[in-house]
Amino acid sequence: MAQAVLESSTAHRLEPLLLLAKTAKSAACAKLIQDAISSPGVFVFGELLDMSNIKDLANNDQYKQYYMLLNIFAYGTVQDYKNDQANLPELTPQQFKKLQHLTIATLSSQSRNLKYDQLLVALGMSNVRELEDLIIDAIYQNVISGKLDQKKSILSVEYSMGRDVKPEQTALVLKTLQQWLQTSKEILSHTDRTIQNIKDVTVARETDHHNYAQALEEAKTRVSKLASSNSGRHRSVESGSSIIMGDDRIDGARFHGKRKGADSSNRR
Q: Where are the domains of the chain?
A: 2-164
Residue 145 has pLDDT above 70, yes or no: yes
Please state, in angstroms and rounded to a whole number, the distance separating the CA atoms of residues 146 and 136: 9
pLDDT at 264 over 60: no
CATH class for the domain made up of 2-164: mainly alpha
Three-state DSSP class for residue 155: strand
Q: Which of 176, 175, 108 is nearest to 148 (CA)?
A: 108
Q: What pLDDT is attached to residue 180?
A: 84
pLDDT value for 249: 53
Cβ count within 10 A of residue 80: 18
Contacts of 96 (CB under 8 A, 6+ apart): 78
pLDDT averaged over every residue in the chain: 86
For residue 57, give the DSSP letter. Answer: G
Q: What is the pLDDT of residue 34?
A: 97
pTM metric for this prediction? 0.67
For position 32, what pLDDT does the model report? 96
Distance CA 52, CA 23 (A): 10
149, pLDDT greater than 70? yes
Give yes or no for a contact between 17 and 50, defined as CB atoms under 8 angstroms apart.
no
Q: Which of 34-48, 91-105, 222-236, 244-258 has the lowest mean pLDDT?
A: 244-258
What percentage of the chain exceeds 90 in pLDDT?
Answer: 63
The pLDDT value recorded for residue 230 is 74
pLDDT for 176 equals: 78
Q: Give 238's pLDDT tier (boundaries 50, 70, 90).
A: low
* Pick from 44, 45, 54: nearest CA to 22: 54
Whole-angstrom CA distances from 140 to 24, 143, 161, 190 are: 33, 8, 13, 41
Cα separation, 81 vs 79, in Å, equals 5
Q: At what angle do helices 93-110 and 116-123 cross, to 10 degrees?
A: 140
